[in-house]
């Protein structure tokens, strides 16, 4: 489970699905706004690389994804 500073989990999920073809889940429990990525032996190294690439992009461009309330 992880979060990307400045990027709401739901926006990250949508972007990862659309741009990297990666399916992850949002965790919203007890005030947590995080992403859960579960990998297993059937995931290919390329799939994991796509996840990492997408997370890196989101972290580097977090300002683009900030919600209006987060910028107040």
- pLDDT at site 67: 61
pTM of the model: 0.83
Q: How many other C-beta atoms can be found within 10 angstroms of the C-beta atom of residue 49? A: 11
Whether residue 15 contacts residue 58, with contact meaning beta carbons closer than 8 Å, is answered with yes
Reading the chain (72 residues) residue by residue, the pLDDT tens digits are: 999 999 999 999 999 999 999 999 999 888 899 999 998 888 999 999 999 999 999 999 999 887 655 443
User: What are the backbone dihedrals phi and psi of residue 20, each rounded to the nearest 5 degrees, phi first?
Assistant: -120, 0
DSSP letter (8 states) at residue 68: G
Alpha-carbon distance of 58 to 46, in angstroms, equals 18
Can you tell me whether residue 24 is helix, strand or coil?
A: coil
């Amino acid at each position: 489970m992880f979060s990307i500073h400045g990027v709401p989990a739901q926006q990250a999920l949508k972007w990862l699905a659309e741009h990297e073809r990666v399916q992850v889940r949002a965790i919203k429990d007890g005030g947590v706004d995080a992403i859960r990525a579960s990998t297993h032996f059937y995931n290919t190294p390329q799939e994991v690389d796509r996840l990492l690439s997408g997370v890196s992009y989101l972290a580097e461009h977090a300002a683009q994804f900030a919600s209006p309330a987060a910028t107040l």
